[in-house]
Structure 1
């Protein structure tokens, strides 16, 4: 949880009308009513570091007689970790967020949500919340994402005078004598995600083996990852001596606000903030009015937003070591050495990186989150690939490579992300591949430390058959195989690729398969099933009937060239404990 400094709001009531007049005539009319009756409660969940500023503005409005259309408004502002609200919203809208986990039983969704980053809104939309369309979404504050380093370590990099890049950092964390890098779990922390995106982009642009460079960067960060920000901060050196500095954390992606708050505690070794180029995605604090609220609340939310766009609110942000949305700052903001904005914040600063939801790249975010989840976790998986005759169909968007070739290529690329702690096996299936049996085991499930080369060879030898799609018999056999040698402490899963419906007339019916899976399902020995459907002949309803029993999810795409990203995303959706 980010630490924050509560600014005094003593002058809020006296200045409320002034700041609203500087905002808009509509806001003034709403605030200037002489009386009101009844009460509407507007719930506002705000990232903890921003909460004091929003609460102060809301209190000032209420002290001055907050009303909309003659009805009194009570604004309930709560400091809420963005990941916790995201879990609740995901649960309400049927979305799945990799690495976030389930919402707690007491979690509720607010009327207005101000998370620390627009990435949360985008991840929810891409995670399956198709009806999730919050209003507004404009940024009300900003904090650049920086690389925090103990000042003695930063000095070796030329701080604060030398301009550094993410490629410079990549070299330092993957060298023979690497800087000890850390990160707050990027699936749960927006600053961590921003740093991950920048570092993986640097790896992708470094030339050579991009996959190897990216995986190396992920694993370097994974060694020093923390679930909580306070735990990560506690790993920075706490004594001003060479041993403590050498053994402590040397670099981590944090917000500018985090560095300021840490240094305000007067640690033995202050942190330097390195503003690396290209500028990473900042924390942009979008003002999201969640869908489904009643019109009177929506009107109150609009007026509250106006209060949060004034010069008075800009000064409240400065008291919390936060910037205005344009990157400038209000009165009292104390910039860190090397900060790129002009002193006093009078000139407009171009937005650093991408700071609004419309400018974010959903594919890049999905790849980063999925790649991280795979590279930093361990599991046991049986990969099952369809080799029915229809897999010979050419894919025009892949230079007419067959569906089989595109599928195998995606599985091969994914294999490179799994480290040696994973256990993976490989089957193919069609109909009557071995006598009346629809499936063939190419490689048994074993640790990649001894199995990797066999899997690579097995994948390279896969060719389509002349058979049909024996989906149901194969699924039951795969489920039984994974469950038989189930391993505690790991996600045990089946990942199956197919381009068609079950058409094995001599095999199990759908009803029989579901009945058998229900008999086998054991909450003490769960097996997650992920089915990736390719092409327009797949029935998502058929696949969902299976995963509804087993846990997991179906993913269907008519464009086989997208299965690489879908594969990574599917593997990343691993079950998590409730928050």
Structure 2
């Protein structure tokens, strides 16, 4: 066992991973094939699915749509590729939106590797469209609390109930970070854990239960001080300033890697990610054989040991010594319940976002670039979008400040989203954007941060989104801005999220986001709409 794990209290959850996490589904249109009659359809790899020795898999590419959480598996996959002679081509998406992309036929892949297939299992296409699935590793979503705070709360010796966590958050005794339930499986799982425990039914929650627990969810949301669109970035933000919050809701495998955190498993239970590698039907003989070869490799005893040691996840090599039993909370069994829970969280429960969008409409944005920018911003007003995409639009109670700039600030517009969700004013403003001038990024950013600071409070989540297609052309530059920032405490702690597009300087954007606690979103491929929607998970 890795030395860090042996130094810590290794809390193992004995989990019943039955119907809640066992299902999987895929869409026939994912890739270029559809469901085809096959002996392996519906089969779980590892049960009579030994690779056919007659099939040569060398040179075969397995295209996998995966959760970003499995990026830490790349060294192991590199070794698998070398040994097996295959290529594992990973592209990344959030569990919910990735699942929905597959269901809509918008994902070009042979397989998925999300933290869980629980959401997939709610779609009717499941039985016909999945060929094989195999759990590779496991990790529950838990609470990591700073050691000194855990001792003060008494949670280091006795795990609290979820209701006690809510009380601590509502009273100000406990602050936390959590990733967006819309964008991240860990945040979504934590929300399901909480709502199910608070319902008190001992069963999977229903849409009626969501309504019943809404008030307590709002009390819980009062304690959130740090948000993120991904589990990994949440830990990066916490590590950068661990004093900002008392703890984080995240995967156990990430919590265990921070020696300053105590793992806390609420008494009411948890939800476990079991990382099922899932093959779609009709992929062809060579792809199916490559999938089975990869599964066999990852399930091999020595590789299971390596996964446990390197990623801190549970595998078949994990021992049950000092195990602490915990109840496995059931996943919702209806799609309408999941959507009701997410809609309630985004629209009514969580702290509303207070956003400043700094928008470059300099002369270089003329033509296709301006059209792409307008389309991306208008997509955030599309309340009629399908599935979780509709939850990435601007929501009731949120405030949007637009700062349009070129050589100087051209216009400012403050818009508060009404209770009815009417976003016509946002669309009208966006459609009126026109190009002219140079690119005064940092002088405008000073104004954007000042605006954000004026409206920042404990009751909202404040941030700045910077979009520019070029390098700064006017005074001040990044050096002068950095000096101003360090000397202006009232704007510190407001993250700046920068979109990398066109000729924007990656080095400067990374320097800027490192300074302000934000991050860079890459739209160099030209897909601004995807970049803006990804950012919404952080706001």
TM-score under structure 2 length normalisation: 0.50
Secondary structure of the residue that 1:302 maps to in structure 2?
Answer: helix
Q: Which runs of 5+ in 1 are unaligned?
A: 1-22, 67-72, 96-102, 264-269, 331-340, 380-417, 424-444, 449-454, 456-478, 493-521, 526-573
Matches within 5 A, 1:372-383: 372-375=345-348, 376=350
Q: Is the 8 A contact 2:180 2:227 kept in 1?
A: yes
- 1:287 corresponds to: 277
- Larger Rg over CA atoms: 1
Q: Is the 8 A contact 2:193 2:329 kept in 1?
A: no
Q: CA deviation at 1:252?
A: 2.1
Paired with 1:200 and 1:447, the residues of 2 have a C-alpha distance of: 26
Paired with 2:229 and 2:195, the residues of 1 have a C-alpha distance of: 20
- 1:43 corresponds to: 63
Secondary structure of the residue that 1:144 maps to in structure 2?
Answer: strand
Q: 1:353 aligns with which of 328, 353, 362?
A: 328
Change (3 A) 1:524 1:61: closer
Q: CA deviation at 1:372?
A: 1.6
Q: 2:87 aligns with which of 75, 88, 97?
A: 75
- 1:94 corresponds to: 104
Paired with 2:276 and 2:266, the residues of 1 have a C-alpha distance of: 24
Q: Is the 8 A contact 1:150 1:236 kept in 2?
A: no
Secondary structure of the residue that 2:303 maps to in structure 1?
Answer: helix
Change (3 A) 1:56 1:230: closer
Paired with 2:221 and 2:129, the residues of 1 have a C-alpha distance of: 35
| 1:488 is the counterpart of 2:488 | no
Paired with 1:260 and 1:274, the residues of 2 have a C-alpha distance of: 11
Q: 2:343 aligns with which of 367, 370, 377?
A: 370
Paired with 2:312 and 2:181, the residues of 1 have a C-alpha distance of: 21
Q: CA deviation at 1:113?
A: 1.7
Paired with 1:110 and 1:148, the residues of 2 have a C-alpha distance of: 35
Aligned Cα root-mean-square deviation (Å): 4.6
- 1:201 corresponds to: 196
Matches within 5 A, 1:196-275: 196-205=191-200, 210-211=212-213, 213-217=215-219, 219-220=221-222, 224-229=226-231, 231-234=233-236, 236=238, 245=243, 248-263=244-259, 270-275=260-265
Paired with 2:169 and 2:70, the residues of 1 have a C-alpha distance of: 32
Q: CA deviation at 1:211?
A: 4.7
Paired with 1:446 and 1:319, the residues of 2 have a C-alpha distance of: 48
Paired with 2:321 and 2:47, the residues of 1 have a C-alpha distance of: 28
| Aligned residues between the structures | 330
Q: Is the 8 A contact 1:57 1:307 kept in 2?
A: no
Q: 1:296 aligns with which of 286, 304, 314?
A: 286
Secondary structure of the residue that 1:110 maps to in structure 2?
Answer: coil
Change (3 A) 1:294 1:285: same
Q: CA deviation at 1:162?
A: 1.0
Paired with 1:47 and 1:162, the residues of 2 have a C-alpha distance of: 33
- 2:267 corresponds to: 277
Paired with 1:120 and 1:153, the residues of 2 have a C-alpha distance of: 34
Paired with 1:524 and 1:45, the residues of 2 have a C-alpha distance of: 35
Q: Is the 8 A contact 1:191 1:255 kept in 2?
A: yes
Q: Is the 8 A contact 1:166 1:276 kept in 2?
A: yes
Q: Is the 8 A contact 2:133 2:277 kept in 1?
A: yes
Secondary structure of the residue that 1:297 maps to in structure 2?
Answer: helix
Secondary structure of the residue that 1:118 maps to in structure 2?
Answer: coil
Secondary structure of the residue that 1:320 maps to in structure 2?
Answer: helix
- 2:321 corresponds to: 342
Q: CA deviation at 1:116?
A: 1.6
Q: Is the 8 A contact 1:58 1:304 kept in 2?
A: no
Secondary structure of the residue that 1:160 maps to in structure 2?
Answer: coil
| 1:329 is the counterpart of 2:289 | no
- 2:149 corresponds to: 153
> Deviations for 1:336-382, whole angstroms, at most 9, x for unmatched residues?
xxxxx425x8xxx9785158x8x856454333222122124879xxx
Q: Is the 8 A contact 1:194 1:281 kept in 2?
A: yes
Paired with 1:284 and 1:147, the residues of 2 have a C-alpha distance of: 18
Change (3 A) 1:364 1:155: farther
> Deviations for 1:127-186, whole angstroms, at most 9, x for unmatched residues?
xx78983332332110111111111111122243213211110111112x3411221111
Q: Is the 8 A contact 2:64 2:112 kept in 1?
A: yes
- 1:524 corresponds to: 431
Paired with 2:162 and 2:293, the residues of 1 have a C-alpha distance of: 41
> Deviations for 1:116-135, whole angstroms, at most 9, x for unmatched residues?
22245247x38xx7898333
Higher RCO structure (Cα 8 Å, ≥6 apart): 2
Secondary structure of the residue that 1:279 maps to in structure 2?
Answer: coil
Change (3 A) 1:27 1:51: farther
Q: Is the 8 A contact 2:168 2:174 kept in 1?
A: yes
Change (3 A) 1:230 1:308: closer
Change (3 A) 1:378 1:487: farther
Change (3 A) 1:25 1:235: closer
Q: CA deviation at 1:193?
A: 0.9
Change (3 A) 1:316 1:575: closer
Q: Which runs of 5+ in 2 are unaligned?
A: 1-45, 202-208, 354-394, 401-415, 433-528, 535-539
